[in-house]
Structure 1
Amino acid sequence: MYTMELGDYKYIFEYDNFEDLKEQMALTKATHKEILEEEAKYNKVNNAIEIQKENNKLKFDLKEMTFAQLEVKFVAHVKESVEETNKVLKDASYKAYANTFNKLKRYFDNENIVNVSYERFKAFRNYLRNEEKLSNRSINGHMNYVAMFLEFARENLKIIDTNEAKRVSSLKEPKIEKENFTKEDIKNIFDYNFSDYHKNIFKVLAHSGMRISELYNLTSEDIKKDENNIYFFNLDEAKTENGNRKIPIHKDILEMVLNTSFPISSKSINAFNKEMLRQLYKVIDKNSSKSIHTFRANFISECINNFPDRINIIQEINGHSQGTKSITIDRYAKGFNMKLKKEIVDSVNYN
Structure 2
Amino acid sequence: MHPQTAKKHIGSVKLYWDFLIARGHVTGANPWAGQTLPDRSRRVERGDERDERAFTEAEIKTLLYSSYPPRMQEKFKQQIHDVMRIAALTGMRVGEIVTLWVEECPIAEDGAGYFDIRQGKTAAAARRVPMHSDLLEIVKRRSKGKRPQDWLFDELANERDPGDVFGKRFRQYRLKLMVDDVQPGKRRSLINFHSFRRWFVTQAERAGVPESTISSVVGHEEGRRSITFGTYSEGPAWQQMRACVDAIKLPTNSFLLPLIEEA
Q: Is 2:179 the partner of 1:285?
A: yes
1:313, distance to aligned residue in structure 2 (A)? 0.7
Kept in 2: contact 1:151–1:163 (CA 8 A): no
Kept in 2: contact 1:280–1:292 (CA 8 A): no
Return the alpha-carbon distance in structure 2 between the equivalents of residues 275 and 179 of structure 1.
20
Pairs within 5 Å for 1:235-314: 235-261=117-143, 262-264=151-153, 265-266=156-157, 267=159, 268-269=161-162, 270-288=164-182, 289-308=190-209, 310-314=210-214
Residue 4 of structure 1: aligned partner: none
1:255, distance to aligned residue in structure 2 (A)? 2.2
Return the alpha-carbon distance in structure 2 between the equivalents of residues 227 and 163 of structure 1.
69
Structure-2 change in CA distance of 1:185 and 1:140 (3 Å): same
Paired amino acid for 2:230: I
Among the aligned pairs, what percent are the same residue? 20
1:204, distance to aligned residue in structure 2 (A)? 0.9
Pairs within 5 Å for 1:84-95: none
Kept in 2: contact 1:222–1:234 (CA 8 A): yes
Query: TM (normalized to structure 1)?
Result: 0.52
Kept in 2: contact 1:235–1:245 (CA 8 A): yes
Question: Structure 2 stretches of 5 or more lacking a match?
Answer: 22-26, 42-47, 69-76, 144-150, 183-189, 252-263
Residues 93-124 of structure 1: per-residue CA shift (max 9 Å, x gap):
xxxxxxxxxxxxxxxxxxxxxxxxxxxxxxxx
Report the structure, 1 or 2, having the larger helix content. Answer: 1
Coordinate RMSD, CA, aligned = 3.4
Q: Is 2:213 the partner of 1:320?
A: no
Return the alpha-carbon distance in structure 2 between the equivalents of residues 328 and 230 of structure 1.
30
Residue 220 of structure 1: aligned partner: 102
Aligned with residue 36 of structure 2, among 132, 153, 168: 168
Residue 86 of structure 2: aligned partner: 204
Structure-2 change in CA distance of 1:149 and 1:197 (3 Å): same
Structure-2 change in CA distance of 1:143 and 1:188 (3 Å): same
Structure-2 change in CA distance of 1:244 and 1:172 (3 Å): farther
Q: Which has the larger radius of gyration?
A: 1
1:169, distance to aligned residue in structure 2 (A)? 4.0
Structure-2 change in CA distance of 1:160 and 1:208 (3 Å): farther
Higher alpha-carbon deviation: 277-286 or 225-234: 225-234
Residue 116 of structure 2: aligned partner: 234
Paired amino acid for 1:324: S
The number of aligned residues is 212
Structure-2 change in CA distance of 1:165 and 1:336 (3 Å): farther
| SS of alignment partner, residue 82 of structure 2 | helix
Pairs within 5 Å for 1:1-351: 134-145=1-12, 165-169=33-37, 175-194=49-68, 195-224=77-106, 230-261=112-143, 262-264=151-153, 265-266=156-157, 267=159, 268-269=161-162, 270-288=164-182, 289-308=190-209, 310-321=210-221, 322-325=224-227, 326-328=229-231, 333=234, 335-351=235-251
| SS of alignment partner, residue 181 of structure 1 | coil
| SS of alignment partner, residue 350 of structure 1 | coil
Paired amino acid for 1:168: T
| SS of alignment partner, residue 192 of structure 2 | coil
Structure-2 change in CA distance of 1:327 and 1:140 (3 Å): same
Residues 199-254 of structure 1: per-residue CA shift (max 9 Å, x gap):
11111111111111221222212213589974111112212101112111111112
Structure-2 change in CA distance of 1:319 and 1:249 (3 Å): same
Kept in 2: contact 1:136–1:171 (CA 8 A): no
1:343, distance to aligned residue in structure 2 (A)? 0.6
Paired amino acid for 2:124: N
1:151, distance to aligned residue in structure 2 (A)? 8.5
Query: TM (normalized to structure 2)?
Result: 0.67
